[in-house]
Amino acid sequence: MSAYHFHITQIKRSKGQSAVACAAYRSGEKLYSDYYGEISDYTRKRGIVHSEILLPSHAPPEYFNRQTLWNSVEKDEQHPKAQLAYSFDIALQNEFSVEENIALARQFLLENFVSRGMICDFAVHLPDRKDGIQNPHFHVLCPMRPLDENGQWGAKQRREYVLDEHGERSRDKSGEYVFNAVPTTDWGSPETLEHWRKTWCDLCNSKFEEKGLDERIDHRSYERQGVELLPTVHEGPTVRAMEKQGIATEKGTLNRWIKATNKMILAAAKKVSALEKWVGENHQSSLIQSLNTYNSMRNAGAYSQTAKVKNLKELTADITFLKANGIETFEDLQGKLDELNEKIDGFKEQSNKKSARLKEIDNLLIWAQHYAENKPVADELSKIK
């Protein structure tokens, strides 16, 4: 099943992190950190199918050596709380072969990262989840400092002085010049991250289309996609403490119901979207025959036996659902979809009513507390008067 995950964090000394250790973990290698004087050995780590360093043209060739590269990054960062690198965790697709996923990751990094002058140390991982389905993804480490034209580490930021009405540098109360720290690159900007997320999404969807698969991924949040989820209610420390002790509360129960309903809404929205697209494009009279055709198309693009077995299980579940609900034609299916949409609207209405009632109860409790706190004062005042 197609999946979208594109997450970025920073490797920071303030969190006790080491760029060398992180690189060793992601690549499954044994590396020595000059800064910490420690060896990080992950040579026994399983599930790593590929690792590679991509360099821009002006980078020193010795940075193809992972230990040399990240020790150089560590050495250039003197501050004990320095930010060392960007770390990306990006999902690959089970519908693509290992070779296709590696090529796709390399293409994305060369066109969007290395072209900006970034160094990319990336590794492709292929672990199995608990349900037996593979979870292909790749990690990328990029030094935060840019390289200058001579291959030397440059500055992350530059000073932009604040000017007064005469065009002169402004000073603060202590007589120091006032300035803003401006990044020297756009690598950390929200706009750049949004561009990368969309570009990766478009690249994967183009590959799906090339392979004749109808799977698609979307980089937008559910809210931006127009999938309206139910908001959970604020629990507060008292409710959380009670729930942690195994004491069920009204708010905790409502939130569990909301989360379960949201899960159903997301699954239904995905199914509805796929089925509506299929209904619009397919002209076969038999719905089950159409599903069999659809399954054959998916298996044609599946590269592993695990994916084919998963497709067969989904087909069996879909046919069982159709027969159990008496759905034989596309018209029957459309009626069922309309019915599901009505149920989702009903769930939302129930949730809104329960949330409103809980807010009323919260307000009553607040007023009750005010009453208990202020009544003795009011009683004393009434005695005086």
* pLDDT tens sequence across 78-93: 888 888 999 999 999 8
Is the same domain home to 108 and 205? yes
Does 167 or 336 have the greater pLDDT score? 167
Phi, psi of 49 (to 5 degrees): -105, -10
Q: Is residue 315 part of a domain?
A: yes
Does 343 or 163 have the greater pLDDT score? 163
Cα 69 to Cα 111, 112, 119, 184, 355, distances in angstroms: 21, 21, 10, 21, 54
- The confidence score (pLDDT) of residue 259 equals 75
Is the same domain home to 250 and 182? no
Q: Is residue 65 part of a domain?
A: yes
- The confidence score (pLDDT) of residue 217 equals 79
Is the same domain home to 46 and 146? yes
| Listed range (25-29, 47-51, 304-308) with the worst mean pLDDT | 304-308
C-alpha span between 385 and 383 (Å, rounded): 5
Is the same domain home to 132 and 53? yes
Report how many domains make up the chain: 2
- Per DSSP, the residues of 115-143 read GGT--EEEEEE--B-TTS-B--EEEEEEE
Is the same domain home to 259 and 314? yes
Is the same domain home to 307 and 201? no
Q: Is residue 225 part of a domain?
A: no
Q: How many residues are recorded in the chain? A: 385
Query: Is pLDDT above 60 for 385?
Result: yes
Q: Is residue 145 part of a domain?
A: yes
Is the same domain home to 20 and 153? yes
- The confidence score (pLDDT) of residue 354 equals 74
Tokens 């509805």 appear where?
272
Q: Is residue 385 part of a domain?
A: no
Can you tell me the mean pLDDT for 33-40? 92
C-alpha span between 290 and 16 (Å, rounded): 56
Query: Is pLDDT above 70 for 232?
Result: no
* Containing structural domain, residue 63: 6-210
- The confidence score (pLDDT) of residue 224 equals 63
State the Rg of the chain over Cα: 28
pLDDT band at 25 (very low <50, low <70, confident <90, very high): very high
- The confidence score (pLDDT) of residue 2 equals 63
Query: Is pLDDT above 70 for 144?
Result: yes
Listed residues 193, 210, 227: the one ending a domain:
210
- The confidence score (pLDDT) of residue 108 equals 95
- Of 85, 29, 27, which is closest to residue 51 (Cα–Cα)? 27
* Separate counts of helices (H) and strands (E) for the chain: 10, 9
Is the same domain home to 55 and 135? yes
Q: Is residue 316 part of a domain?
A: yes
Is the same domain home to 187 and 278? no
Can you tell me the mean pLDDT for 264-280? 61
Query: Is pLDDT above 70 for 297?
Result: no
Most confident listed range (79-93, 172-186, 267-281, 366-380): 79-93
Contact 105, 121 (CB under 8 A): no
Which sign does the torsion angle of CA 230, 235, 241, 243 carry?
negative
Is the same domain home to 140 and 58? yes
Q: Is residue 226 part of a domain?
A: no
- The confidence score (pLDDT) of residue 179 equals 74
Is the same domain home to 149 and 251? no
Is the same domain home to 100 and 242? no
Does 318 or 367 have the greater pLDDT score? 367
Q: Is residue 11 part of a domain?
A: yes
Query: Is pLDDT above 70 for 270?
Result: no
CATH number of 95's domain = 3.30.930.30
Q: Mean of the per-residue pLDDT values for the chain?
A: 81
Tokens 């959380």 appear where?
240
Can you tell me the mean pLDDT for 105-120? 94
pTM flag (> 0.75) = no
